Amino acid sequence: MSMALSSAAPRRGWRSAATWLGAAIVGVAAFCAVFAPLLVPHDPFAQDLGKRLLVPFWMEGSDPQHLLGTDQLGRDYLSRLIWGCRISMLIGVTVSIVSGLIGITLGVLGGFLGGRVDDAVLFAITTRLSLPVVLVALAVVGLLGSSMTLLLLTLGLLLWDRFAVVARSTTLQVRNLDYVAAAWCAGCSRFRILTREVLPNIASHLVVVATLEIALAILLEATLSFLGLGVPPPLPSWGLMIAEAKDYMFFSPWVIMIPGVALFVLVLGINLLGDGLRDQFGARSDP
């Protein structure tokens, strides 16, 4: 035990710097997402065919009106980037809520009730894991037509597995602790024990999963939009921006660099924050 403590100590400085960096990135992204309509310098949907593919500010011949240049239809890239952040965050958070509701319910019930119920939950998790996520999501959106609501529901129904796994294993641990036994003895109902004793004590683990799940959902949405079966155009999803810019990337690589870097930095930030929270709570939810 003492060894573990001493070995953890020198990491703290580096670790907490990384966590703060993550928190800062997520904070900026959340701010951009909420206030996007006020922050955008131009209308992200307005086309100006006379100003197509203007270069960003660090390159020769840029237009100070368009700091990050314009896309192939003359739409302001910075405005589309900020609007895209709103879409990414919206999808990440909503999908995490939908999948969290499904996964936590299944996991807690399985872990708490045990027996046949637990077998059924484990079976559901195994089945879910055997489905190829990207392919199934593409197929559903492709066959039903792309819309925001459908995308949110599909991803929510596909990404609950990690919530269920962690909720189940932590519930199994908590179920046998003394304070739960005490609550049983005090004559509390099953429902009360679940909501008042079990859930609050596994909540920190679930927050960590939720963070990582937001990052996963954002990456998946970008992938689906890149393949043309995610967010419908002309909405500026970062994945869709990369897809639309793909034809021009050999001549002007910045068109895929800008949305790609934004996506990478946001996902990295969320993961840094998630890892930091995990250390903070002393939880190991790595499988």
Partner 1 sequence: MLRFLVRRLIVALLVAATVMTLAFIMTRLSGDLAISIAGPNATQADVEAVRKAYGLDRPLVTQFFDWAGRAMTGDLGESYFFKSRVSALIGERMPVTLTLGLSGLVIALVVSLPLGILAAVRENTAFDRGVQFVTLFGQAMPSFWLGLLLMILFGLKLGWLPISGTESWDGYVLPAIVLAFSAIPALTRLTRAGMIQAMGSDYIRTARAKGLSRASIILKHALRNAAIPVVAIAAVQLGFMLGGSIVIEQIFALHGVGFLAWESIAKNDFPVVQSVVLVLAVIYIGLTTLADLMNAVLDPRLRGA
CB of 271 to partner 1, least distance (A): 6
Compare residues 10 and 61 and give the one whose CB is closer to partner 1.
10
Q: What string marks each residue from 140 to 159 as x (binds partner 1 by CB under 8 A) or -? A: x-xxx---------------
CB of 182 to partner 1, least distance (A): 30
Per-residue DSSP letter, 237: -
Q: Which residues contact 155 (CB under 8 A, 6 or more apart)?
A: 91, 95, 98, 99, 137, 217, 220, 221
131 binds partner 1 (CB under 8 A): yes
Compare residues 181 and 265 and give the one whose CB is closer to partner 1.
265
DSSP bridge pairs for 70: 76
* Cα within 13 Å of Cα(246), Cβ side: 10
Token pair recorded at residue 99: 């999948």
In residues, how long is the chain? 287
The three-point CA angle 126-104-237 to 5° equals 85
219 binds partner 1 (CB under 8 A): yes
Only segment of 72-80, 101-109, 190-198, 215-223 that touches partner 1 (CB under 8 A): 215-223
Among 16, 65, 127, 147, binds partner 1 (CB under 8 A): 127
The alpha carbon torsion through 183, 189, 195, 199 (nearest 10 deg) reads 50
222 binds partner 1 (CB under 8 A): yes
279 binds partner 1 (CB under 8 A): no
Compare residues 100 and 274 and give the one whose CB is closer to partner 1.
274
174 binds partner 1 (CB under 8 A): no
CA–CA distance, 211 with 133 (Å, rounded to integer): 19
- Among 73, 97, 237, CA closest to 159: 97
The alpha carbon torsion through 72, 75, 81, 83 (nearest 10 deg) reads -130
58 binds partner 1 (CB under 8 A): no
* Cα within 13 Å of Cα(242), Cβ side: 20
CB of 133 to partner 1, least distance (A): 7
CA–CA distance, 171 with 117 (Å, rounded to integer): 14
Only segment of 35-43, 73-81, 176-184, 255-263 that touches partner 1 (CB under 8 A): 255-263
Among 235, 260, 273, 278, binds partner 1 (CB under 8 A): 260
139 binds partner 1 (CB under 8 A): yes
17 binds partner 1 (CB under 8 A): no
Q: What does each C-alpha distance from 241 to 150, 158, 223, 232 come to in angstroms? A: 20, 24, 11, 11
CB of 189 to partner 1, least distance (A): 32
Do 217 and 103 touch, CB atoms closer than 8 A? Answer: no
Among 23, 39, 93, 136, binds partner 1 (CB under 8 A): 136
Per-residue DSSP letter, 38: H
Compare residues 93 and 122 and give the one whose CB is closer to partner 1.
122
Using CB under 8 A, list all residues that contact partner 1. 7, 10-11, 14, 123, 126-127, 129-136, 138-140, 142-144, 215, 219, 222-223, 226-227, 229, 239, 242, 246, 249-250, 253, 256, 260, 263-265, 267-268, 271-272, 275, 286
